[in-house]
């Protein structure tokens, strides 16, 4: 076992949660009425005969929900949960304006109650937009490493960008810095095995996640889709970017559909400094241990003392494929159901199930500005058409959908009410929620919320809004593609 590995709080089993198979059945039920009815009949669940709630029960439920929204959220530091007075102070520092603080409280409480992930105080986070800026920050951290560098990524490409990272990692290994890499076997299938063998020959520890031909067939569908880099246990990077030449240029180069599949992808990453890095480090070491690898290091080097360096509150949200706890899905739903003003989402692969779609439509019905930016073109036609099969219901429900046209959108972000933001690896689709290992970070911060909304507005400038009337009149051939693709959406 790796020394110093501490199971992340978001992974801890909690009483009262739906058990594994039942929890996943609940997700499938939410994916469609017909499928839900069939599954209910299959497992013998009682889908009828439920009593309607009384007026008193409804009033009691509303009062209880209001009390939860107004409660002091759970806030932790390096030593554990802080007293309510300190939690209130931390919330006030993250959201100084009274209106933003009230919204932050409601959203953070809803997400923490649903996922068990507390707010970690004392962090400084920074948005990193597109490849050049993100890689510059990551490579600068790599060059400054003194003890270790940990990288977990879906794609580690054997191309110009991948080799630039490999060269930097080899140099640090020669300096005595420990380097550990986890890459996904399918995500990195195009990379030559000699590429990884070359790094291993220089003393870099490399682990392949679920190698093809050596993993149980029932687990092949579980992929490590996380993007995480931790340097010296002090700074972490996470978000949507792989290590790949598709990010060699910024999306502002506007490659368009003709060149955009190969370069200039639009994506978002996050740099985190402060106590939340400890939880991200724990996630990497947990994955490393599950792959049967050990870490020959003292705990103090892996988990150094981390001072509070900022006012951002961070919730670390991690999920594992096949796990009964759909934490990122639950976090999204909890936040959406408690948003008051704005729900702005940018998503590379957007195929929400029925429950998720209903939550977005319900938000528009209560006056929330709900906007979603999706790709106008993508690297997978099958996924693209499967996603589009969900648009009509959302458009009819008042959700504004925009297609990003001038670069391939690969970001997975959301900002709600200008104060609760999400950046990570998880798409809004069944594959990410049910099958992949994913990692998102939620940030409660008025400043980061403002930056996220500014970023969203800039993306709108290069996006075209889908007109509901024109969408309903789209060609029959498009509808057929959407229907056929949607049949496989659960596995895409």
Where in the sequence numbering do the catalytic residues fall? Answer: 225, 227, 232, 410, 412, 417
CA–CA distance from 27 to each of 30, 116, 324, 355 (Å)? 5, 19, 10, 8
Structure tokens at 52: 């309607």
**Alpha-carbon gap, residue 78 to 285, rounded angstroms:** 18
Tell me the DSSP string of 451-465.
HHHHHHHHHHHTEEE
Which of 227, 4, 282 is CA-nearest to residue 117?
A: 282
Longest CA–CA span in the chain (Å) reads: 70
Q: Which residues contact 55 (CB under 8 A, 6 or more apart)?
A: none
Can you say whether residue 155 is alpha, beta or left, with left for phi > 0 and alpha for psi between -120 and 50 degrees?
beta
Q: Are 30 and 354 in contact (CB under 8 A)?
A: yes
Rg (CA), the chain: 22
Which of 168, 184, 263 is CA-nearest to residue 228?
A: 184
Strands (E), 97-240: 119-129, 148-153, 178-184, 205-209, 228-231, 235-239
Structure tokens at 221: 């569908």
**Alpha-carbon gap, residue 118 to 75, rounded angstroms:** 6
DSSP 8-state assignment for residue 18: P
């Amino acid at each position: 076992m790796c020394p110093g590995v501490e199971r992340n709080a978001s992974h801890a089993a909690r009483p009262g949660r739906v058990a594994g198979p039942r929890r996943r059945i609940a997700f499938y039920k939410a994916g469609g009425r017909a499928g839900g009815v069939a599954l209910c009949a299959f497992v013998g669940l009682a889908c009828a005969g439920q009593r309607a709630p009384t007026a008193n029960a409804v009033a009691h439920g509303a009062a209880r929900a209001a009390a939860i929204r107004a409660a002091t959220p759970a806030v932790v530091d390096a030593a554990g949960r802080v007293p309510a007075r300190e939690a209130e102070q931390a919330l006030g520092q993250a959201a100084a304006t009274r209106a933003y603080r009230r919204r932050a409280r409601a959203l953070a409480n809803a997400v923490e109650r649903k996922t068990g992930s507390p707010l970690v105080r004392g962090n400084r986070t920074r948005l990193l937009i597109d490849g050049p800026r993100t890689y510059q920050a990551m490579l600068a951290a790599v060059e400054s490493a003194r003890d270790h560098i940990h990288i977990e990524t879906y794609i580690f490409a054997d191309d110009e960008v991948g080799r630039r990272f490999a060269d930097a990692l080899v140099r640090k290994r020669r300096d005595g810095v420990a380097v550990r890499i986890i890459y996904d076997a399918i995500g990195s299938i195009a990379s030559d095995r000699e590429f990884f063998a070359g790094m291993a020959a220089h003393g870099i520890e490399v682990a392949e996640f679920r190698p093809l031909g050596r993993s149980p067939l029932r687990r092949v569908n579980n992929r490590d889709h996380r993007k995480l880099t931790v340097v010296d246990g002090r700074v972490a990077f996470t978000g949507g970017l792989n290590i790949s030449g598709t990010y060699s240029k910024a999306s502002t180069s506007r490659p368009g559909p003709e060149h955009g599949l190969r370069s200039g992808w639009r994506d978002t990453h996050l740099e985190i400094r402060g106590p939340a890095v400890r939880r991200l480090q724990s996630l990497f070491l947990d994955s490393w241990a599950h792959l049967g690898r050990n870490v020959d290091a003292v705990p103090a080097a892996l988990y150094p003392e981390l001072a509070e360096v900022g006012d951002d509150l961070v919730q670390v949200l991690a999920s594992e494929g096949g796990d009964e706890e759909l934490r990122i899905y639950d976090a999204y739903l909890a936040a959406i159901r408690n948003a008051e003003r704005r729900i702005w989402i940018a998503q590379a692969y957007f195929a929400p199930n029925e429950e998720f779609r209903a939550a977005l439509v319900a938000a528009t019905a209560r006056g929330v500005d709900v906007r979603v930016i999706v790709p106008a073109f993508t690297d997978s036609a099958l996924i693209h058409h499967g996603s589009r099969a969900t648009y009509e219901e959302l458009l009819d429900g008042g959700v504004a959908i925009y297609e990003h046209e001038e670069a391939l959108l690969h970001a997975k972000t959301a900002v709600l009410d200008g104060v609760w933001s999400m950046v990570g690896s998880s798409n809004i689709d069944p594959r990410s929620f049910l099958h992949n290992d994913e990692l998102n970070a939620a940030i409660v911060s008025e400043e980061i919320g403002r930056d996220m909304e500014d970023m969203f507005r800039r993306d709108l400038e290069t996006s075209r809004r889908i007109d509901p009337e024109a969408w309903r009149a789209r060609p029959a051939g498009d509808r057929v593609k959407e229907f056929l693709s949607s049949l496989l959406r659960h596995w895409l």
